[in-house]
Amino acid sequence: MKKALVVDDNGSNLTLEKDLLEIAGYQVFVAEDASSGIAIARKEKPDVILMDVRLPDMRGSEAALIIREDKDIKDIPIIFVTASVMAEGKEEIKNIRNSGFIGKPINTRTFAKEIGQYIK
């Protein structure tokens, strides 16, 4: 079973993404801030991480860089799921390797399939 980690401080987004991935057969872990997300990633080593860009404790891009520096989890694909589609938001994440971007509001019909494309 594929494992996914969803990091989002908005409860309804978190629940929606979790439900869609569970329906698609994923085991899903959730975190409401970046620090918890990093800790869960280290412990569970998910196949994919879905990360909001705006989190209460740090930017999703900062969390991604911390993950990229950890030898045990550096290769996990990170998908930024965010409403911040401004140029600055894309600029901030474009240099993070093995990452992708899905804009909010997400398309509930194609979401799990989109996520699946990032998993080797």
Q: Across residues 71-86, what is the average pLDDT?
A: 88
At 50-65, the pLDDT tens digits run 999 889 999 999 999 9
pTM for the model stands at 0.94
Domains of the chain: 3-116 (3.40.50.2300)
Find out whether 118 and 77 touch, Cβ atoms under 8 Å.
yes
Q: Spell out the alpha helix ranges (H) of 1-120.
A: 11-23, 34-44, 60-68, 87-94, 111-116
- 62-66: long-range contacts at Cβ-Cβ below 8 A with a sequence spacing of 24 or more? 62/34, 63/7, 63/34, 63/35, 63/37, 63/38, 64/93, 64/96, 64/99, 65/96, 66/38
